[in-house]
Amino acid sequence: MPLRDLSKEELYLPGSAACAGCGDGIALRIALKALGKDTIFTVPACCTSVIESSYPNTSFGIPVMNIAFAASAACASGIRAGLRRQGKETQVVVWAGDGATYDIGVASLSGAWERETDFLYICYNNQMYSNTGIQRSGATPFGAWTTTTWKGKEESEKDMIAIAMAHHLPYIATATIGYPEDLHRKVQKAKSIPGPKYIEILSPCPPGWRYDMSKTVEMSKLSIATGVWALLEVEEGNITFNGRSKAILEGKIKPKPVEDWLSGQGRFAHLFKPKRDEERIKKFEEIIDQKWQRHREGKL
Ligand SMILES: Cc1ncc(C[n+]2csc(CCOP(=O)(O)OP(=O)(O)O)c2C)c(N)n1
Ligand code: SF4
């Protein structure tokens, strides 16, 4: 659906406490247009629980239940059970950061997936714990500076999509805010499928990634153009790629150099200054190359 045809109803309201240029804010606005008013969010501790604004004010036009860091998926199971009892079909959505998803809430998420709770879990992935001042998470990429990896992270991120696939979910997708139509379509599709669904949205964060706040959409699109992030869907175990990622996979376009993505972000500045760190730049490129090699073999 073209952008101009998206719902005019705004459920992400003025008064949000997000930083200027927040990728999460853009993701919320688009996803809420696809979800509509008959939706309940449950949100663990993260930037979104601040973005919502302080009680009694709110920047969300839907009900939200804030919950402890580890418990959002368990909370979704409880909300679903309560709604079922009342005969309501309201969409139950967890909206959580990567810290809550990859690390602290992964146990309760695995439980809700295994119980086949009918809910949509959306992880907005800014690749770090932003709300508490930029600490490393299981989604932080190799080489990135955070306040707990001040020489650059030594490990790669974990593969959350593979973890989701191991739970045999009917629908899994990745998206990013630079491609709002694709994001909107995937949320709408997830909404139409019963059972547990998982969508992960790459959501650049200006203070955490250290780039100018005007460049969030550019940074998101560059993530796709360089192949650092791929747009894909997994339905009943079958992986398909979308948009530019599909063209990269099929060799129809050449990805831009990964270095373009790294050099645009202050969190990777130590790889270039005061001296170029050839070894770590090469290792980062190899991680991305290997990922695409696996994709060409039909794997994640
Ligand atoms: C059990 C527990 N540990 C730590 C915290 C402190 N805390 C609140 S928000 C947050 C960071 C959340 O990171 P993420 O889920 O990635 O979301 P983001 O802040 O990036 O939006 C942390 C560590 C907490 N509230 N509860
Ligand atoms: S720190 Fe990052 S994720 Fe959090 S509100 Fe600011 S831009 Fe958004």
> Which structural domain, as residue segments, surrounds residue 74?
3-296
φ, ψ for residue 102, nearest 5 deg = -75, -30
Measured CA to CA, the distance from residue 104 to residue 122 in angstroms comes to: 15
Q: How confident is the model at residue 53 (pLDDT cuts 50, 70, 90)?
A: confident
Is residue 55 over pLDDT 90?
no
Q: Name the DSSP letter for residue 146.
A: B
Query: What's the pLDDT at 275?
Result: 97
Model confidence pLDDT, tens digit, residues 69-78: 999 999 999 9
Q: Which residues contact 152 (CB under 8 A, 6 or more apart)?
A: 142, 143, 144, 145, 268, 270, 271, 280
What is residue 194's predicted lDDT score, i.e. its pLDDT?
A: 97
Atom of ligand 2 nearest to the CA of 134: 1
Count of domains in the chain?
Answer: 1
pLDDT at 110 over 90: yes
- Mean per-residue pLDDT for 97-109? 98
Residue 95 tokens read as: 């909206």
Write down the pLDDT at residue 162. 98
Residue 160 confidence (pLDDT): 98
**Distance in Å, CA 133 to ligand 2 centroid:** 10
What's the whole-number mean pLDDT along residues 12-29?
Answer: 96
Residues with a CB atom less than 6 Å from ligand 1: 45-47, 69, 97-100, 104, 126, 128-132, 137
As a whole number, mean pLDDT of residues 169-186 equals 98
CA of 60 to the centre of ligand 1 (A): 20
What residues are in contact with ligand 2 under a 6 Å CB criterion?
18-19, 22, 24, 47, 51, 126, 130-131, 205-208
**Tens digit of each residue's pLDDT (9 = 90 or more) over 255-278:** 999 999 999 999 999 999 999 999
Query: Are 136 and 271 in contact, with CB atoms under 8 Å apart?
Result: no
The answer to whether 131 and 97 are in contact (CB under 8 A) is: yes
Q: Which atom of ligand 2 is nearest to the CA of 20?
A: 7
| Closest ligand 1 atom to Cα of 100 | 15
Whole-number percent of the chain with pLDDT over 70? 100
Q: Whose CA is nearest to atom 5 of ligand 2?
A: 18
pLDDT in the model for residue 54: 81
Check residue 165 and give its pLDDT. Answer: 98
Summarised one tens digit per residue, pLDDT across range 139-159 is 999 999 999 999 999 999 999
Residue 130 CA, ligand 2 centroid: distance in Å: 6
d(CA 265, CA 206) in angstroms, rounded, equals 9
- What share of the chain in percent tops pLDDT 90? 97
Condensed to tens digits (0 to 9), the pLDDT of residues 228-253 reads 999 999 998 999 999 999 999 999 99
Distance 68 CA to ligand 1 centre (A): 9
Residue 236 is predicted with a pLDDT of 86
**Whether the bond into 274 is cis, omega within 30 of 0:** yes
What's the CA gap between 102 and 224, in Å, rounded? 21
Domain with 227 in it: what CATH number?
Answer: 3.40.50.970
Predicted pLDDT at 147: 98
Average pLDDT value for the chain: 97
Structure tokens at 299: 């794997």
Residue 207 token pair: 């203070």
Q: Give me the long-range contacts of 143-152 (CB less than 8 A, separation at least 24).
A: 143/262, 143/268, 143/271, 143/280, 143/283, 143/284, 144/267, 144/268, 145/210, 145/266, 145/267, 145/268, 145/269, 145/270, 146/208, 146/267, 151/270, 152/268, 152/270, 152/271, 152/280
Atom from ligand 1 closest to the CA of residue 69? 26
Pocket test for ligand 2, best of 43, 47, 59, 215 (most atoms within 8 A of CB): 47
Q: Which protein residue's CA is at the shortest distance from atom 2 of ligand 2? A: 205
**Identity at 124, one-letter amino acid code:** Y
